Structure 1
């Protein structure tokens, strides 16, 4: 795959990515309006007329137009960062089972999750550092899953993006040496990404100085 990356450019791609995430959150809020007492619905993703999200440590899906939510997982561990495959048939996610965070995939209608990565995770980490093996999305053809890993990192803020086949097998590093969040462009040949992950840093809301 001829995948180009743009560490300092690609602002149109970034704008498109931000708008897509904003749309997902807006639709999720609409879809759960009937459940106004439900709190902490997190990490939404949308595909067609379905929304996937995490609630109570499990993955749920619901109609984008509103309706009954369906719980897909019920493991004592935590499942987060659900991402639909391009055809909507699969959901990849990060599962924290027995203290180890790995990449899993399951049918979008529910079923037994299948583990795809096995390199020992650095987690569980303090909340400000986020998650190891965090799933970010899929390749354009739906054959590979992108995730962020600390496996070769010398420092917790420094990580790298990898991909793994939906069938499992060896993971492959993406070309950028360090990265945080990322997603493929619609043409499948480019990636928009951030150099570092700051998703869970508490000081990003701090308004004072550093003295």
Structure 2
């Protein structure tokens, strides 16, 4: 899918965490966020801020991208216009926040965090409004991944993760609970 992707300085080597909306792909590369047409071509850099950005997720209407950003301390949840611009910080937690998805209505961003946990390996799921107000914990004991049915009537989540999920060409039997 990203095989035809080029940057001004040459061919890219490793992109991660792609998300697709319509004919655009958002992804993380060298600590910044980029977009590219699904057909390939020249990538557009969305962020050039000091720090790192990762885990881009398009909003359901494609107008925004939520992402995890590390600028001045703990990794937090931000949103930025899909065409680029100034990010808005949505979370101010002491624990690391990792963006997972948007709610299907586009009103909240779901993320995992180690705040309110006793063991660092068991993150909990939270959501925050798109303006940064009313953060709340989801009523689950823990979680690392989440996805929603299109109409929002059901949520699928993974209670625990596999830290080796990015193994190259791995075909083994390691699994996680869904």
Question: TM-score, normalised to structure 2's length?
Answer: 0.87
Distance in 2, Cα, partners of 1:143 & 1:94: 17
Distance in 2, Cα, partners of 1:38 & 1:85: 26
Segments of structure 1 that go 5 or more residues without pairing to the other structure are: 1-26, 122-131
Cα pair 1:72 1:110 within 8 Å, conserved: yes
Q: C-alpha offsets along residues 171-198 of structure 1, whole Å, 9 cap, x if unaligned?
A: 1111221111111111211111111122
Shift of residue 170, structure 1, vs aligned partner: 2.2
Residue 117 of structure 1 is matched in structure 2 by 91
Within a 5 Å distance, the mapping from 1:94-173 to structure 2 comes to 94-121=68-95, 132-173=96-137
Pair 1:80–1:200, CA change in 2 (3 A): farther
Shift of residue 65, structure 1, vs aligned partner: 0.9
Cα pair 1:31 1:64 within 8 Å, conserved: no
Cα pair 1:95 1:101 within 8 Å, conserved: yes
Residue 35 of structure 2 is matched in structure 1 by 61
Shift of residue 159, structure 1, vs aligned partner: 1.1
How many residues align? The count is 167
RMSD value over aligned CA atoms? 2.0
Residue 3 of structure 1 is matched in structure 2 by none
Pair 1:148–1:55, CA change in 2 (3 A): same
Shift of residue 31, structure 1, vs aligned partner: 4.5
Cα pair 1:136 1:181 within 8 Å, conserved: yes
Mean alpha-carbon deviation: is it higher for 48-57 or for 164-173? Answer: 164-173
Cα pair 1:31 1:63 within 8 Å, conserved: no
Residue 74 of structure 1 is matched in structure 2 by 48
Q: C-alpha offsets along residues 35-62 of structure 1, whole Å, 9 cap, x if unaligned?
A: 6831121110000000000111000000
Residue 198 of structure 1 is matched in structure 2 by 162
Write 1 or 2 for the structure with the bigger share of strand: 2
Segments of structure 2 that go 5 or more residues without pairing to the other structure are: 173-178
Q: Secondary structure at the match of 1:100?
A: coil
Write 1 or 2 for the structure with the bigger share of helix: 1
Residue 63 of structure 2 is matched in structure 1 by 89
